[in-house]
Amino acid sequence: MASFLIKQQYVMKNSTTTKVDKKLLPKEITKCVDTHLHTASFDFYTGMKYAKENNLLQTTEFSQVREGTHFIVCCSDVMVKVESSDYPEITRRDF
């Protein structure tokens, strides 16, 4: 179930609840030690939602993922390029 990956924060104000932030979270982010490219891996359904929200096209060429315009599906994960400043709360795994 992908819903547990959706981060929601709420602020209480005058006894009402206001939604402040809703963000799709990847399972992991890796950083290439040679190129410093950051790649986020999402479970399939969350990743497809992320790709749709960011107008990414599917590809089989990782070189297109590097451009930030495409995503790739690998081992049931959706992989996308992210910036080093994206998701600062997630520790990168070097590869």
pTM of the model: 0.73
Q: Is 1 helix (H, G, I), strand (E, B) or coil?
A: coil
How far apart are the C-alpha atoms of 3 and 8, rounded to whole Å?
A: 10
* Predicted confidence band of residue 22 (pLDDT cuts 50, 70, 90): low
Look at residue 23 in the predicted model and tell me its pLDDT: 83
Q: Most distant CA pair in the chain: distance in Å? A: 51
State mean pLDDT over 3-31: 58
As a whole number, the mean pLDDT across the chain is 82
- What does the pLDDT average to over 28-46? 96
CA distance 14 to 23: 25
pLDDT above 60 for 1? no
Q: For residues 81 and 37, what is the distance between their CA atoms, to the nearest angstrom? A: 7
Handedness of CA 15, 21, 25, 30 (dihedral sign): negative
Average pLDDT over residues 43-55: 96
Cβ-proximal residues to 37 (8 Å cutoff; 6+ apart), any chain? 31, 66, 81
Residue pLDDT, tens place only, 52-94: 999 999 999 999 999 999 999 999 999 999 999 999 999 999 9
